[in-house]
Amino acid sequence: MDNLYGWEWFLKQFQTISKIDLTSYKRPQMERRINSFMKLVNIGDYNKFITLLRADDAIYHRFIEHLTINVSEFFRNPNHWEVLEKDVIPGLLKEKSPLRVWSAGCSTGEEAYSLAMLFREKFPNKVDRILASDLDNEVLEKAALGLYAVKGLQTLPVTYGNRYFIKEGENYRVTDEIKKMVIFQRQDLLIDTFPRDFDLILCRNVVIYFTEESKQKLYRKFAESLRPGGVLFIGSTEQIFQARELGFKSIATFFYQKI
């Protein structure tokens, strides 16, 4: 590709269109995803691609959905959710009730609804409305709709499926009592200011796509967003190195408490 319209040029142009700063993401992964999409739409250089994104809303929205990695499932890694249920939440409730909880990078809503069902079933009336945020407006719309294909419910405990979902044609919809427990909003984790005084934040399988510098910045922001004693729950492929320097201590695998 012409150096005039190279990678750095593309990043700047894309940020002016989308307000998304891709410099915070690992370059090899982003380049692969972007170049694979360009092949799909038969575009060979960044200059023509930017022109297309500006001119075609449908292509632009398809690209955003392709770019933001929206993989989620109910109660992902069940053994970690068991630690959350048996140890972490009871420990937090000894200090405060109701809890303030945030699902950061919530994708299509499975994680946020998993939290809502867990609290409804095991800790009724012990949580405020759960905040669920994501960068992608389209996935937030899907999350708020709460409609899932039957294969999307495979990791859901049977009792939860029977109690909190209603069959609707070929799909299943989350019941209103669970929907009302969650509020969805758009948020760019790397740019936007975080709300404060959360007791529990889940940010799972999100930072694996970030540069090391961006990871450190994000973990510091989460530490500031938690109350002292609050807990951050991260993904099964993630680990916070030098946790104490960022204001955390490990209390279980994938769980970090604000010091």
The pair of three-digit structure tokens given for residue 141, joined into one six-digit string: 């719309």
Integer-rounded Cα Rg, in Å, for the chain is 19
Summarize pLDDT for 53-95 with one digit per residue, the tens.
999 998 988 888 777 666 678 999 999 999 999 999 999 999 9
Give Cβ neighbours of residue 23 (< 8 Å, ≥ 6 apart). Answer: 11, 211
Show pLDDT as tens, one digit a residue, over the chain (259 residues): 446 789 999 999 999 998 888 887 888 888 888 999 999 899 989 999 999 999 999 898 888 877 766 667 899 999 999 999 999 999 999 999 999 999 999 999 999 999 999 999 999 999 999 999 998 888 899 999 999 999 889 889 999 999 999 999 999 999 999 999 999 999 999 899 999 999 999 999 888 778 889 999 999 999 999 999 999 999 988 889 889 999 999 999 999 999 9
SS (H, E, C) the chain: CCHHHCHHHHHHHHHHHHCCCHHHECHHHHHHHHHHHHHHCCCCCHHHHHHHHHHCHHHHHHHHHHHCCCCCCCCCCHHHHHHHHHHHHHHHHCCCCCECEEEECCCCCHHHHHHHHHHHHHCCCCECCEEEEECCHHHHHHHHHCEEEHHHHCCCCHHHHHHHEEEECCEEEECHHHHCCEEEEECCCCCCCCCCCEEEEEECCCHHHECHHHHHHHHHHHHHHEEEEEEEEECCCCCCCCHHHHCEEEEECCEEEEC
pTM to 2 decimals?
0.81
Give Cβ neighbours of residue 42 (< 8 Å, ≥ 6 apart). Answer: none
Domain with CATH 3.40.50.150 in the chain: 78-258
Summarize pLDDT for 161-173 with one digit per residue, the tens.
999 999 999 999 9
What is the second-level CATH architecture of the domain 78-258? 3-Layer(aba) Sandwich (3.40)
